[in-house]
Amino acid sequence: MGIFKDQMKKILLIRGLSERTINIYLHSMESFVRFFNKPPDKINADEIIQFQHHLNEKKVSYSVFNQYVSAIKFFYKNVLRSNVHIDRIFYTKRPKKLPVILSQEEIIAIYQVIANIKHKTIFITTYACGLRVSEASKLKVEDIDSNRMMIRIRCAKGKKDRYAPLPKKLLQVLRKYWKAMNRKPSIWLFPSNFYENQEKHISIRSIQFIIQKAAVKAGIKKKVSVHTLRHSYATHLMEAGVNLRKIQLILGHTSISTTAKYIHLADNYIRNFNSPIETLKI
Packing angle of the helix pair 244-251, 226-239 (nearest 10 deg)? 160
Please tell me the number of Cα atoms within 13 Å of 198 on its side-chain side. 12
Residue (of 72, 71, 80) closest to 4 by Cα position: 80
What is the arrangement of strands in the sheet containing 144-145, beginning at the earlier edge strand? 144-145, 150-153, 162-165
Which of 132, 138, 201, 236 does the annotation list as catalytic? 132
Catalytic pick among 25, 68, 233, 262: 262
264 catalytic per annotation:
no
Catalytic residue at 269?
no
User: What type of residue is 172?
Assistant: Q
227 catalytic per annotation: yes
> 10 Å Cβ neighbour count for 192?
15
Q: Active-site residue among 9, 140, 157, 213? A: 157
- Residue 253 annotated among the catalytic residues of the structure: yes
Which is catalytic among the residues 73, 162, 253, 261? 253
271 is known as an active-site residue: no
Torsion (CA) 148, 178, 153, 133 in degrees, nearest 10: -150
* Alpha-carbon distances of 25 from 18, 99, 126, rounded to whole Å: 11, 26, 27
Q: For the chain, count helices (H), then strands (E).
A: 13, 5
Catalytic residue among 119, 120, 138, 230: 230
Three-class SS state of 152 = strand
Active site residue 111: no
Q: Which of 162, 217, 227, 261 is catalytic?
A: 227
Among positive and negative, which fits the CA dihedral 118, 121, 126, 127?
A: positive
Strand-strand pairing, 144-145 and 191-193: unpaired
How far CA 66 is from CA of 1, 5, 84, 195, in Å, comes to 20, 20, 19, 40
**Catalytic residue ranges:** 132, 157, 227, 230, 253, 262
